Structure 1
């Protein structure tokens, strides 16, 4: 059987092709699945998609009409898929429920350290042979407070690193993680966390209950010199409200690997295009803000685990099995 995979990066392609070799043929495309590209999938029973695919009702109906019966999403998040429509169309949907939490946690700390120690600004200066230190002063993290919003696998990994720095630990989640408590984490209401933390890192999924969990009210609670890092989902942060606070001179650093309007922008080369998103254009102008293109997961270890789970999901579909990765079972 030939499988069609959308949104495949150049680094990912040989790994994906090698994983399916000997079992199934694979057609890998670098374009993302959308209403415009969905007709390409006509005749393919199994389609694999990336995190920035748009699987709204219209796209799903186009896929189903073209003969697609299974969607294998190569990500943990699935807020981009209309599961109700998929079930109504008889489409099986699988995702990757787990991959290396260290990839994201370590990248969150990369962003935290980059904004704290002004690494991007320093690097840009030295390329121009400007070796002054003005404006590059950071802070020791030891003894300061890390606020971890979401203490699942990734949040726990982030917490272990914070513990290694010698930081005080505050956490918020619907359930306490015993491993984090053992490290000395104190669970508090999110309002207390926002007010007390020097560094806040977001590790919750994007749900109705977490959409804009960092809104204008939450931002106003934070210390003027706090740092905010988001490597989870862009919709957790009200970006317009964040820009307003940044324009007021607040926060010592912000690191964002995700953005709530990233679809159609992230993973693409927009360097020659006119920037139409005024919020994003303003955001990247702040010298103490670092924005990256949803790459926190992008280590070889994590990608290999994602691909292995995708191969297993395809095998489960063909065998009529369910697993922890199954979002919509085979009808």
Structure 2
């Protein structure tokens, strides 16, 4: 199958090349949107990522150019208009899951770096300043960690926090029996807001979770609480969170995502002006630790994403051969 891969980076190309088999892959750096979708002409499938635009107009354009399959090399589908895809008779595939430890461990890395002031300490040493004044951190042991969403990543993060000796509480419409047996207590969202010293987001983005942490929710948090977000930027009302930080109503924000990251993250703007005021407030705030959506970026996760997605594409192609029923995703 001829596949146009949009928004590709050097770190992922080797993995897809390794597992491409009989598929013919063209790697494109361009983001998929209404202006670039013409590049998919002549291809049977497109492969897209979280920053690509899979809205109804783009999907209709892809369909008109002969594309039959949209393969997302990510778990979340919040940037795909699934109703429009169905109307256009486009099959949508995605990665049902990859190493949950990649994102969970990145969340832990962000949290530990924040509470122990690792970026500040590193910068000082690089400058020849070996003073540790002002770098006092805090133990995580004994703290209450609230986890919003206990899917595979939330479960992995829970187990790590339990290993740190934390009291772990969680909110999820579908409690996980294994976590319950390991000592995690499921509570209401209001209780989680009120009791947590650390809150970590591991839920999908949808109409129920968009701006889940808004001004009203932030008002219920401890003023010393630290929020960790490795899910989606739009789970959090960024403006409300920054205002709370400015007014000492929140302890800190450690995040790998940003609501307006499309067009910024995964690109190099060194020496160029960053014109997004909210992004500038985030990246320069003394109580914010920001990375550019790299939680998935481990060798294990990249291998699983490439292998599993190309297997699904092969299955889709084979199911369309005579005598084989079309798959339903």
The interval holding the TM-score normalised by the smaller chain is: over 0.9
Give the match for residue 151 of structure 2: 152
Higher relative contact order (CA 8 A, sep 6+): 1
- Give the match's secondary structure for 1:148: strand
- Counterpart residue number, 2:40: 41
The residue that corresponds to 2:285 in the other structure is 286
* Partner of residue 249, structure 2: 250
Q: In structure 2, the residue corresponding to 1:221 is in which secondary structure? A: coil
Larger deviation, residues 59-68 vs 227-236? 59-68
Asked whether the 8 Å contact 1:255–1:290 carries over to 2, the reply is yes
Question: How many Å apart are 1:277 and its aligned residue?
Answer: 1.5
Contact 1:121 1:287 in 2 (8 A): no
Q: CA deviation at 1:274?
A: 2.5
- Pairwise CA RMSD: 1.4
Answer with 134-143 or 265-274: which moved more. Answer: 265-274
**Counterparts of residues 174-253 of structure 1 (less than 5 Å):** 174-253=173-252
Q: Which residues of 2 match residues 113-132 of structure 1 at below 5 A?
A: 113-132=112-131
Q: Are the aligned partners of 2:245 and 2:251 in contact in 1 as well (CA < 8 Å)?
A: no
The 2-side partners of 1:30 and 1:13 are apart by 11
Gaps of 5+ in 2: 321-326
Query: The residue matched to 2:25 in structure 1 has which SS?
Result: strand
Check conservation: 1:146, 1:199, Cα contact below 8 A.
yes
- After superposition, the C-alpha distances for 1:124-175 in whole angstroms (9 at most, x for unaligned) are 1211112222321111111111101111111110010001000111110001
Q: Distance in 2 between matches of 1:30 and 1:302?
A: 21
Q: How does 1:45-64 map to 2 (within 5 A)?
A: 45-64=44-63
Structure 1 equivalent of residue 2 of structure 2: 2
Rounded Cα–Cα distance in structure 1 between residues aligned with 2:121 and 2:186: 36
Equivalenced residue count is: 323
Q: Is the 8 A contact 2:245 2:287 kept in 1?
A: no
Deviation at 1:316, TM superposition (A): 2.0
TM-score (norm 1): 0.94
**For 1:212 and 1:312, how far apart are their aligned partners in 2?**
35
